[in-house]
Amino acid sequence: MGAQWKAKGKALVADAKGKLFGKLVKEIMVAARLGGGDPAANSRLRMAVEAARKASMPKDTLDRAIKKGAGVGADAVNYSSVLFEGYAPHRVPVMVECLTDNPNRTAPNMRVCFRKGQMSAVAWDFDHVGMVEGEAENGADVEMAAIEAGAQDFEPGDDEGVTLFITDIADLDAVSKALPAQGIKVVSVKLGYKAKNPVSMASLSAEQQEEVQDFLAGLENDDDVQHVFVGLVD
């Protein structure tokens, strides 16, 4: 479906939460560096802050991340976004977005991760889009909500009960703000990649599915990996 792949199997709760906070902190810092430290004037930062609050990130951790990204204080850190593309086993296309303070470390790590796949140009097989995950409340009509909010399309999300709303990049902020008025509780907002020709999970054997899942889990376990987008459908 093009949504962010959620690797099979979860680590211990504390470890998983720590990794989530790490990813959120990086996103906050990059957003603050690119657009300034004021969420009201920086839509990307505002979305990152909302995601951090929903994950129950402590306020001092959040504030410190904004200051570091905006270059305030002696411990300011600059992260850059690096995109890797290629195939998981059995020609399943993937786009891997990394946020890193050391691309010279990240690139070799990604080459190791892709040993069981193949690094190759696959961006042509993805659309760069806005993605809003939301939950319908009080019997809200998802299709009508998508139309009224200005979304391009919608489809089931990775989690049960969650709908993925697809938008033009320029419309992402406006759609995410309009959906609550249509009875949709917004869960996450991000830019992402939607596969044009995803591989059907049903076309893979159980062993092949396991190989793909193991490959994707290996990507997710790398500390520099922020998002993994995979061309795979049920």
pLDDT of residue 40: 84
**Structural domain contains residue 223:** yes
**C-beta of residue 129 within 8 angstroms of C-beta of residue 175:** no
pLDDT of residue 39: 86
pTM, 2 dp: 0.79
36: how many CB neighbours lie within 10 A of its CB?
Answer: 16
Shared domain check, 135 and 225: no
pLDDT of residue 15: 57
Q: pLDDT digit string (tens) for 70-95?
A: 876 666 667 788 999 999 999 999 99
pLDDT of residue 26: 86
**Structural domain contains residue 3:** no
- When divided into structural domains, the chain yields a total of 3
Q: pLDDT digit string (tens) for 17-52?
A: 677 888 888 888 888 887 888 888 887 788 888 888
Cα–Cα distance for residue pair 218/86, rounded to 1 Å: 14
Shared domain check, 220 and 134: no
130: how many CB neighbours lie within 10 A of its CB?
Answer: 23
**Structural domain contains residue 226:** yes
Provide the β-strand partners of residue 188: 133
CATH number (domain holding residue 52): 1.10.10.200
Shared domain check, 129 and 119: no
Residue range of the domain that includes 189: 125-195
pLDDT of residue 43: 77
- Is residue 104 scored above 60 in pLDDT? yes
Question: Mind spelling out the 3-state secondary structure of the chain?
Answer: CCCECCCCCCCCHHHHHHHHHHHHHHHHHHHHHHHCCCHHHCHHHHHHHHHHHHCCCCHHHHHHHHHHHCCCCCCCCCCEEEEEEEEEHHHEEEEEEEEECCHHHHHHHHHHHHHHCEECCCHHHEEEEEEEEEEECCCCCHHHHHHHHCCCEEEECCCCCEEEEEECHHHHHHHHHHHHHHCEEEEEEEEEEEECCCEEHHHCCHHHHHHHHHHHHHHHCCCCEEEEEECEEC
**Structural domain contains residue 6:** no
**Structural domain contains residue 141:** yes
pLDDT category, 13, cuts 50, 70, 90? Answer: very low
pLDDT category, 16, cuts 50, 70, 90? Answer: low
pLDDT of residue 55: 84
Q: pLDDT digit string (tens) for 193-234?
A: 999 999 999 999 999 999 999 999 999 889 899 889 999 988
Shared domain check, 144 and 162: yes
CATH number (domain holding residue 172): 3.30.70.980
Shared domain check, 101 and 56: no
Q: Give the mean model confidence (pLDDT) for residues 50-67.
A: 87
pLDDT of residue 3: 47
**Structural domain contains residue 177:** yes
Average pLDDT, the chain: 86
pLDDT category, 65, cuts 50, 70, 90? Answer: confident
pLDDT of residue 121: 96
Cα–Cα distance for residue pair 54/164, rounded to 1 Å: 18
Shared domain check, 152 and 108: no
Shared domain check, 163 and 108: no
Cα–Cα distance for residue pair 91/198, rounded to 1 Å: 10
Shared domain check, 169 and 60: no
Shared domain check, 149 and 88: no
**C-beta of residue 178 within 8 angstroms of C-beta of residue 149:** yes
Q: How far apart are the first and last CA of the chain?
A: 8
pLDDT of residue 18: 72
pLDDT of residue 147: 95
**Structural domain contains residue 7:** no
**Structural domain contains residue 142:** yes
pLDDT of residue 1: 47
- Across 18-22, 67-71, 118-122, 131-135, the highest mean pLDDT is recorded for 118-122
Q: Classify residue 166 as exposed, middle or buried by CB count within 10 Å of its CB (0-12, 13-18, 19+).
A: buried
Which of 43, 18, 22 has the alpha carbon at shortest distance from 31? 43
Shared domain check, 164 and 138: yes
Q: pLDDT digit string (tens) for 138-175?
A: 889 999 999 999 999 998 776 678 899 999 999 998 99
Shared domain check, 183 and 135: yes
Shared domain check, 188 and 147: yes
Cα–Cα distance for residue pair 168/28, rounded to 1 Å: 22
